[in-house]
Amino acid sequence: MTEPISALAQKVDAHLAGRVRRVPALADELAYEVEPGVLTEVCRTLRDAPELKFEMLMDLAGVDYLEYGMDQWQTQSATRTGFSRGRTPYEEAELTAPVGGARFAVAYQLLSITHNRRLRLRARCETGTEPVVDSVTDIWASANWFEREAFDLFGILFRGHPDLRRILTDYGFIGHPFRKDFPLTGNVEVRYDPERKRVVYQPVSIEPRVLVPRVIRDDNRYNPALRDEPTVPRS
């Protein structure tokens, strides 16, 4: 942990001890988890405390932890290590999903303009079937459209939001496309019906498919036509 991050962590602990829980992050990052019942209280403290002063909500995003920890690919440094990224499933100690087995959570990226510091806050949603968390629009005005986006894409409800409706998908869109169990082909498709002279919705007609990356190399090892050709030595 860097010295500035360590100093910031001490200030956060001084103001929010017992109300937030430190979660793993990179050495130059600071991340905490907050219980949904005290979310707005903690956010106000982060904004108003003179030693913290996180005046700006830079981003807010939903997170879906469905099947979290079952992925056998380690994506950090992926461009340098290739298929050596393959690994065994995560150990229990490595899991950083929200406590309580919550499927959905909301991540808040905060910026202190006064102190030039950043902090990540995560709040788990109360239920998985109908995920709900309190709105923070009264604390940061920028949360308005961010929360609408999380509602649209993840189906997360924000209690107290002044105008919670879809913002990116169409009015008749079915489902929430960023959920991990949402089908790649979607649920419905849109086309223009020349007989009705209007756009109509109908069940999707695209066949389900598996997206498998392919690597094509111009090399004797991969081109059957060149496989038996002798390799010309370089001079």
Run of H or E including 5: helix 3-16
Q: Which of 113, 115, 133, 131 is nearest to 123 (CA)?
A: 133
Q: What is the average pLDDT across 26-35?
A: 90
Please tell me the predicted confidence (pLDDT) of residue 134.
96
pLDDT in tens, 43-98: 999 999 999 999 999 999 999 988 776 655 555 544 444 444 444 454 444 556 66
Place of tokens 């223009």: 192
Q: Is residue 155 part of a domain?
A: yes
Q: How far is CA 76 from CA 79, 80, 81, in A?
A: 8, 9, 9
Structural domain tally of the chain? Answer: 1
Q: Is residue 82 part of a domain?
A: yes
Give the structural domain span for 107. 3-174
CATH of the domain at 150: 3.30.460.80
- E strands within the chain? 20-22, 31-34, 56-64, 104-112, 117-124, 132-134, 157-159, 188-193, 198-203
